[in-house]
Amino acid sequence: MSPSQAPPAPDVGPRPETLGRVAARFALAFLIAAGFSALATPLVAPHVPGRSPEKLARTLLIPGFVAAYILLGRRRRPPLRIAVGLAVTPRVAGRQAAAGFLVGVASLAAYLAALVAVGAWSRREPAYPAGRIAVDALKYLPAGLFLALWEEALFRGLLFGDLERAAGRRVAFWGSAAAFGVSHFLRPLDDVSRAGDGAWSGVHAVWQNVAGLSRVTFEAPALIGLLLVGATLAYLRLRTGSIALGIGVHAGWYYVQKMDGRFVDLNRSLAETARLWIGTREHYDGVGGWCALLIGAWLASRVASSESRP
């Protein structure tokens, strides 16, 4: 058989993608993760005393969902490192993540300092012991990087790439931002644990988290802020072609959000009357927080521009 008559080589690249397949895969991955979390929660709970079943179930949902989503779509994606948005060298990724972390910390810390200056927040009394602050500072740094890596790999990596192949860059940008924003309402409506400790405690714990999605309908400031966060991080992914800078920014925001309560506290007298302007302890659910996010996005875009220069 001559070369011109030889059969074509099999296509080993990613298979065609559609929005329907992406949506079905996303929903199925969530169901698998929910089942995993429901089964694992009562088994793990005795080993983590002091942690409510609801919080434990939510913690288990994240890696379970990412693992299921990776496996379900592996034949329709490029190699995993490219699919999650880390196609740069480790050195470049580390430099971008470090720069992003500094930007995230600086933008949110500056906003918090402004809140203290105008009296919306005040110094915490009694102050936390210095030793406790040092322990928390070391604890939340790897925790923030770990959480940011999972979320950026899922939303700005896998989901963004799937949506871009299925429907284009604009749908990928807003679709990943929307999914990111809504997912943050996946938590109980209050701090009261209702799951109990029986064999069905995992199912109840997962359901309490799912019930929290109803807040999307009545917490508009938080939803707007989360959409802004998602859009900012998607923009950084587009500017750099990588999620590394976004991982750093995301981790920096998380770090300040977790550490600020050791030094300052919300002024309760203004918490209700000026909530639209100053938001809550989450920082992203008020006009001031939105401005801080936009400033952070501008700073990060400057970092992205400098990274793109030869």
What tens digit of pLDDT does each residue of 1-41 get? 444 454 544 444 566 789 999 999 999 999 999 999 999 99
Choose the most confident range, by mean pLDDT, from 84-93, 127-136, 255-264.
Answer: 84-93
pLDDT of residue 308: 57
Structure token digits, residue 51: 């942690």
Judged against a pLDDT cut of 50, whether residue 89 lies above it is answered with yes
User: Where is average pLDDT lowest: 115-119, 194-198, 200-204?
Assistant: 194-198
> Within a domain: residue 8?
no
pTM summary value = 0.88
Side chain identity at residue 45, one-letter code? A
> Within a domain: residue 172?
yes
> Within a domain: residue 3?
no
Averaged pLDDT score across all residues of the chain? 86
For 184, what's the count of Cα atoms within 13 Å in the CB-facing half-sphere? 22
> Within a domain: residue 116?
yes
> Within a domain: residue 255?
yes
| Structural domain count, the chain | 1
> Within a domain: residue 6?
no
> Within a domain: residue 2?
no
Higher pLDDT, 103 or 128: 103
Residues whose CB is less than 8 angstroms from the CB of residue 136 and which lie 6 or more positions away in sequence, other chains included = 258, 259, 262
> Within a domain: residue 225?
yes
Q: Which domain holds residue 64?
A: 17-308
Side chain identity at residue 306, one-letter code? S
Q: Which of 157, 170, 177 minimizes the C-alpha distance to 77?
A: 157
For 40, what's the count of Cα atoms within 13 Å in the CB-facing half-sphere? 17
* DSSP-derived 3-state class of residue 266: strand
Mind listing the pLDDT tens digit for each residue in 55-76?
Answer: 899 989 988 999 999 999 888 8
